[in-house]
Chains A and B, each alone.
Chain A
Amino acid sequence: MKLTLKIWRQENATAKGSMHTYSIDDVSPDMSFLEMMDVLNEQLMQQGVDPVAFDHDCREGICGACSMFINGEPHGPDRLVTTCQLHMRKFKDGDTIHIEPFRAKPFPVIKDLVVDRSAFDRIQHAGGFVSVNTSGNTQDANAIPIEKTNADKAFDAAACIGCGACVASCKNASAMLFVSAKVSQYALLPQGQVEATDRVLNMVKQMDEEGFGNCTNTGACEVECPKGISLENIARMNREYLSAKVSG
């Protein structure tokens, strides 16, 4: 396939940045989107042009690193995939593809398509954990009975890979789906109850300080999430938060 790629190039964090157009031939439909970018970069380097910088790691949909906004959607037109799982057979010969970084004020661009998502790490540090004394008195986790529906919902919430597609697709650049997934995975389990109040208050406070937007329940995040995280988690976090504000 022959493709025209319009890609955001930005030299560094303070540069202005703009869209550049490149042409690429011989794209196999079996290639993943990132493999296509690798081919583009080899071509660019041979031409003496700086290769396009982009994030990637596992290249199989589990690490959350790859993050391209493709033709107006995070991770492109396919559903329940990350950019590395998007394959070129989803495009046609002669297509033009627009590629931009995940945009949000709290995700400053580092270079080209690479953004700094440490805001998510800071939110996690604020409360996305349970405190356990692990030295010498480990308890068997299976000794604590947990209702299966809750265990399943907690597992589903824990599937969040922190890629930021929710923020990128949200018209308000809100991080509610991410934060609510991280809060829910503990809120549904007995181990999470001990620190539930502090957790939700601190994580939401950090989320607000980072400058993410307000949730207006459009549901774009749930549609675009590569792991299919549910909007139910946002409602759950709203409840947890209100209850923590009232009781805490």
Chain B
Amino acid sequence: MSPVLFWLFTLLMLGFATSVVVNRNPVASALSLVGAFLALAALFVGLDAYFIAVIQVLVYAGAVMVLFLFIIMLLDLKAEQRRRFNIVTLLGGSIVAAGFIAELTALLSKFQLGKRGFPTLPGAKPVDDVYQVGMTLFTTHNLPLQVTGVLILVATIGVIILSRRELK
């Protein structure tokens, strides 16, 4: 991936991510999050990970965020827009964030492994990543996959039971 494109999409992603937090309008925040997901997908494409990129768009931008937006619109959150900035929380939040960044830079400058670039893969060629992911999931990690499936099924049944109870 050309560094120009990398920086372009990174800046886009960070910009959208910031606007998720800064925006007062919940719909604008949700849409910014979609923008951030799309820019992240573009970064995945830059790493030749097409499958992850497409799944990122399909699941997060295409399904999860649509549902979020759906709920936000139905609730019509006007109170959120009227809320003012609170100086104390703003100050506290920025101190924590600045401390975290300082800690991270101090640590990373001493971390020798982080400074080395990745070695180029010998004979790098495009792989069929859908095939590779599928084979790995269903052969080496078959049991965890099945367990996760059962877990999601239990959660789904739980949601149905809870929503049914409210009706009665």
- A and B together in one complex: no
